[in-house]
């Protein structure tokens, strides 16, 4: 599913992803067509029953073939159902493999995406695109495609039957069908509906994304006694979805009403025909033909209902393919074309520039700095200055737009990604632990690690008190039996995981932000233990945690405006000095009686 395949029919594009299972989809189409033809045969035999009854009336004892006709009608109806069941079995087998292949491609793509893209788009949105879009494709292949085949084959056979018994009544029925089809085509097909479906999915994705963010922020919302209305983005997303849904529904009221009236007007028309013929001399043959149309015409409404939904499903699938392509078309993080090995673990920025997608200005604008191997530095400054962005570029969350970032004299783009992940480890301010055991969480960093190695890093990361109070120790599953960890405790477990990784370059991004005073002291001790002999980049707003750094770089609006040791920066009476004075005041601040 690349750019070249977007103009291809949706079904062919889906079958490209089915592999050899595409033959099941082909089989489903063939069997559905056969089922449609078989499903019309019982109506012929029902007509034969009515015709024979009318031809022998009032001496009904002469009707000798009614039982045979009845059993034959039932036989064809059962055969039609059995064939359609086989069609559904084939369609499901083809759909399962197609969707599985597409999801595997998407997941593989996500693994190759820049981590920054995932952070920017939001994991909730990407998950929704993959799951919901493939669910729509699955529904299309499993149910809509067989129904659509029945809906396309049936009218052809249906028109032949309508014209066979009485061409005059047949023409009236066909005229009604044409009017209903034109009405349906007007509101179910066309570019406006495609735009509406796209807008609907975008509104739904945004609402889901903001809902996820709102749930994550519930502790803050509840702490300050706010409601959902305080979360403006979520409220705006809900309002947008509501406005679109209501206007979309209202726009369909008149055409949908007209369609429903026309497609169900067969009985009124046939009643008028019967009254007109009934006023004069009418043959039994005419009334038997009329009975066929009375029995048969309800099928038309059912067929059109299936066609209407299959037309809408076509647009939904097309939109789903576009959304899946939005994932598959993301530019991958290219692996090293010229693999090189760093000579040491120094980090150097050479006139680095970087701009986020659709941003008005550069997030980084000419950053140059050098961190010696084993050096401990800090990035500080006002929010939005570029601290986290700079650190993220070291581990290739994104690639620089201009300039270079070197590790041990080698451009990070020339270091294989697997090797780069071994060299650089990140400790985020909100470290994530999986809902599995503490042991498995830590061994994610090194699956081959022994229990002894895990026990050692837990001790070095100041986690002994956590393990001792857990019901099953290191084998305790987080979230089971009400077992949860505080933010500071989770951070220490995350530090143990990074310790086990033993990467020579560490990036600590506001790693003590969510720790209480007791946990903060233990986290800092764990940091000191973990940082021995490592190159460390620490991003912090708590300036007390960076005063011992070998060098402090002050960021503002994407540039380094000051650099040096803590004592020297305080004496300069610049941005850092003001930040330090404000921090000191915040520490000393207290409520007086």
pLDDT tens by residue, 359-368: 788 899 999 9
14-28, 150-164, 177-191, 513-527: lowest mean pLDDT where? 513-527
How much is the average pLDDT of 124-150? 85
- Which pLDDT does position 512 carry in this prediction? 58
Tell whether the model's pLDDT for residue 72 goes beyond 90. Answer: yes
Query: How large is the average pLDDT for residues 151-176?
Result: 74
In whole angstroms, give the CA distance from residue 181 to residue 184: 5
**Residue 434: C-alpha distances to residues 386, 437, 444, 484, 496 (Å):** 29, 8, 10, 12, 14
Q: Which of 457, 450, 464, 451 is nearest to 502 (CA)?
A: 457
Q: Would 312 be classed as within a structural domain?
A: yes
pLDDT at 369 exceeding the cut of 90: yes
**């609006």: which residue's tokens?**
557
Q: Is the pLDDT of residue 459 over 90?
A: no
Does the structure show a pLDDT above 90 at 469?
no
551 lies in the same domain as 580: yes
Residues 19-38, mean pLDDT to the nearest whole number: 91
User: What pLDDT, on a 0 to 100 scale, did the predictor assign at position 308?
Assistant: 64
pLDDT over threshold 60, residue 1: no
User: Which segments of 312-469 are extended strands (E)?
Assistant: 347-354, 364-371, 376-380, 402-407, 410-411, 424-427
Last residue within a domain, chosen from 294, 328, 362: 328
Same domain membership, residue 397 and residue 277 = no
Residue 315 lies in a domain: yes
| pLDDT of 351 above 90 | yes
Residue 524 or 518, more confident:
524
What does the pLDDT average to over 421-430?
A: 80
Establish if 114 belongs to a structural domain.
yes
Q: How many CB atoms lie within 10 A of CB 29?
A: 20
Whether residues 273 and 388 fall in one domain: no
Q: Which residues contact 202 (CB under 8 A, 6 or more apart)?
A: none
Q: Is there a contact between 338 and 414 (Cβ–Cβ < 8 Å)?
A: yes
Q: Do 158 and 274 have their domain in common?
A: yes
Structure confidence by residue, pLDDT tens digits, 250-264: 877 787 788 777 777
User: Per-residue pLDDT averaged across 408-421, rounded?
Assistant: 89
Which one has a higher pLDDT value, 518 or 144? 144
Looking at residue 515, what is its pLDDT? 54
Asked whether residue 436 carries a pLDDT value surpassing 70, the answer given is yes
Q: Is 334 a domain residue?
A: no
pLDDT of residue 225: 56
**pLDDT of res. 519:** 61
| Confidence (pLDDT) at 4 | 44
> Is the residue at 168 inside a domain?
yes
Residue 246 shares a structural domain with residue 310:
yes
Q: What is the pLDDT of residue 36?
A: 87
Q: Which residue has the higher pLDDT, 398 or 187?
A: 398
Q: Is residue 537's pLDDT more than 50?
A: yes
Q: What pLDDT score does 560 carry?
A: 92
Provide the domain limits for residue 432.
347-587
Q: Residue 417 and residue 114: Cα distance in Å, rounded?
A: 11
Reply yes or no on whether the pLDDT at 58 is more than 90.
no
Mean pLDDT for all residues in the chain: 80
Contact 514, 487 (CB under 8 A): yes
| Residue 127 pLDDT exceeds 70 | yes
Q: Identify the band that residue 591 occupies on the pLDDT scale cut at 50, 70 and 90.
A: very low
Q: Which of 446, 428, 565 is nearest to 507 (CA)?
A: 428
For residues 11 and 80, membership in a common domain is answered with yes
pLDDT at 222 over 80: no
With bands split at pLDDT 50, 70 and 90, how would you rate the model's confidence at 235?
confident
Residue 439 carries which DSSP code?
Answer: H
- Give the residue with greater pLDDT, 161 vs 278: 161
Please name every residue paired with 477 in a beta bridge, in sequence order, or none if there are none. Answer: 437
Q: Is the pLDDT of residue 438 over 70?
A: yes
Section 483-506 average pLDDT: 82
137 in the same domain as 36: yes
* Residue 73 sits in the same domain as residue 210: yes
Q: Are residues 379 and 265 in the same domain?
A: no
Task: Report the range of poorest mean pLDDT among 181-185, 244-248, 457-461.
Answer: 181-185
Q: 5 falls in which pLDDT band (50, 70, 90)?
A: very low
Task: Reply yes or no on whether the pLDDT at 66 is more than 50.
Answer: yes
Q: Do 175 and 301 have their domain in common?
A: yes
DSSP letters, 227-288, are -GGG-HHHHHHHHHHHHHHHHHHHHTHHHHHHHHHHHT-HHHHHHHHHHHHHTS---HHHHH
Question: Given this model, what pLDDT does residue 267 score?
Answer: 67
pLDDT at position 338: 82
CA-nearest of 416, 332, 324, 336 to 105 is: 324
Greatest mean pLDDT range, 40-44, 167-171, 289-293, 477-481:
40-44
pLDDT at 406 over 90: yes
Tell whether 76 and 141 lie within a shared domain: yes
Residue 29: band (very low, low, confident or very high) from pLDDT cuts 50, 70, 90: very high
| Span 436-455, average pLDDT | 87
336 assigned to some structural domain:
no
Last residue of a domain, one of 299, 328, 357: 328
352 and 213 part of one domain: no
In this predicted structure, what is the pLDDT of residue 287? 67
CATH number of the domain residue 352 falls in: 3.40.50.300
Among the residue ranges 69-73, 176-180, 240-244, 573-577, the one predicted with the least confidence is: 176-180
At 47 the pLDDT is 77
Buried b (16+ CB within 10 A) or exposed e, 283-313: eeebbbbbbbbeebbeebeebbebbbbbbeb
CB 47 within 8 Å of CB 130? no
For the segment 180-208, the average pLDDT, to the nearest whole number, is 70
Q: What is the mean pLDDT of residues 413-439?
A: 82
In this predicted model, which residue has the larger pLDDT, 541 or 414?
A: 414
| pLDDT of residue 281 exceeding 60 | no
User: Quick one: pLDDT band at residue 513, thresholds 50, 70, 90?
Assistant: low
Report, as an integer, the average pLDDT of 420-448: 83
pLDDT computed for residue 186 by the predictor: 65
Q: What is the mean pLDDT of residues 375-388?
A: 88
Q: Is residue 85 over pLDDT 90? A: yes
Question: Has residue 218 been placed in a domain?
Answer: yes
pLDDT value at residue 552: 93
Euclidean distance between CA atoms 75 and 83, whole angstroms: 12
Contact 214, 234 (CB under 8 A): yes
d(C-alpha 343, C-alpha 324), whole Å: 41
CATH number at residue 265: 1.20.1560.10
Mean pLDDT of 342-351: 92
Please indicate, yes or no, if residue 223 is contained in any of the structural domains: yes
0.75 surpassed by pTM: no
Domain count, the chain: 2
Of 279, 300, 328, which closes a domain? 328
């Amino acid at each position: 599913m690349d750019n070249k395949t977007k103009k291809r029919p949706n079904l062919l594009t889906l079958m490209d992803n089915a592999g050899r299972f595409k033959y099941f989809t082909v089989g489903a189409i063939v069997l559905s067509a056969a089922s449609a033809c078989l499903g019309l045969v019982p109506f012929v035999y029902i007509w034969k029953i009515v015709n024979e009854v009318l031809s022998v009336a009032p001496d009904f004892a002469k009707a000798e073939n009614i039982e045979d006709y009845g059993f034959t009608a039932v036989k064809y109806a059962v055969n039609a159902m059995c064939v359609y069941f086989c069609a559904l079995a084939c369609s499901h087998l083809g759909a399962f493999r197609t969707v599985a292949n597409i999801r595997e491609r998407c997941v593989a793509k996500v693994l190759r995406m820049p981590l920054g893209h995932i952070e920017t788009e939001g994991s909730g949105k990407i998950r929704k695109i993959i799951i919901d879009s493939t669910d729509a494709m699955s529904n299309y292949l499993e149910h809509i495609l067989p129904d659509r085949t029945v809906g396309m084959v049936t009218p052809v056979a249906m028109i032949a039957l309508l014209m066979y018994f009485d061409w005059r009544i047949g023409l009236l029925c066909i005229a009604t069908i044409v009017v209903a089809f034109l009405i349906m085509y007007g509101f179910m097909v066309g570019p406006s509906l495609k735009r509406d479906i796209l807008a609907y999915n975008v509104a739904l994705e945004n609402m889901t994304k903001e809902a996820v963010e709102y749930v994550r922020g519930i502790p803050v919302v509840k702490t300050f006694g706010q409601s959902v209305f305080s979360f403006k983005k979520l409220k705006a997303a809900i309002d947008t979805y509501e406005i679109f849904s209501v206007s979309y529904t209202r726009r369909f009221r008149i055409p949908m009403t007209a369609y429903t009236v026309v497609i169900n007007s067969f009985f009124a028309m046939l009643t008028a025909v019967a009254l007109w013929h009934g006023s004069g001399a009418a043959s039994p043959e005419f009334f038997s033909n009329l009975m066929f149309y009375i029995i048969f015409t309800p099928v038309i409404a059912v067929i059109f209902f299936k066609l209407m939904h299959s037309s809408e499903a076509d647009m939904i699938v097309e939109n789903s393919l576009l959304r899946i392509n939005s994932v598959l078309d993301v530019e991958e993080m290219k692996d090293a074309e010229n693999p090189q090995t760093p000579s040491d673990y120094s980090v150097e920025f050479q006139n680095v520039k970087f701009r986020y997608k659709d941003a008005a200005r550069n997030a980084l604008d000419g950053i140059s700095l050098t961190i010696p191997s084993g050096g401990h530095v800090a990035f500080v400054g006002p929010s939005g200055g570029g601290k986290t962005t700079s650190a993220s570029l070291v581990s290739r969350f994104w690639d620089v737009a201009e300039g270079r970032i070197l590790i041990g004299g080698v451009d990070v783009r020339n270091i294989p990604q697997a090797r780069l992940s071994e060299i650089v480890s990140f400790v985020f301010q909100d470290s994530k632990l999986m809902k599995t055991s503490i042991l498995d969480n830590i061994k994610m960093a090194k699956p081959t690690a022994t229990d002894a190695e895990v026990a050692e890093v837990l001790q070095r990361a100041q986690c002994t008190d956590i393990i001792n109070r857990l019901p099953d120790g290191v084998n305790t599953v987080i979230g089971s039996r009400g077992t949860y960890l505080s933010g500071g405790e989770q951070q220490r477990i995350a530090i143990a995981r990074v310790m086990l990784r033993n990467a020579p370059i560490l990036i600590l991004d506001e790693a003590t932000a969510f720790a209480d005073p007791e946990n903060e002291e233990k986290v800092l001790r764990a940091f000191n233990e973990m940082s021995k002999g490592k190159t460390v980049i620490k991003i912090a707003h708590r300036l007390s945690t960076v005063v011992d750094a070998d060098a402090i770089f002050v960021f503002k609006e994407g540039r380094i405006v000051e650099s040096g040791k803590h004592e020297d920066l305080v004496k300069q009476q610049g941005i850092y000095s003001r930040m330090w004075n404000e921090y000191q005041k915040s520490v000393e601040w207290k409520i007086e009686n």
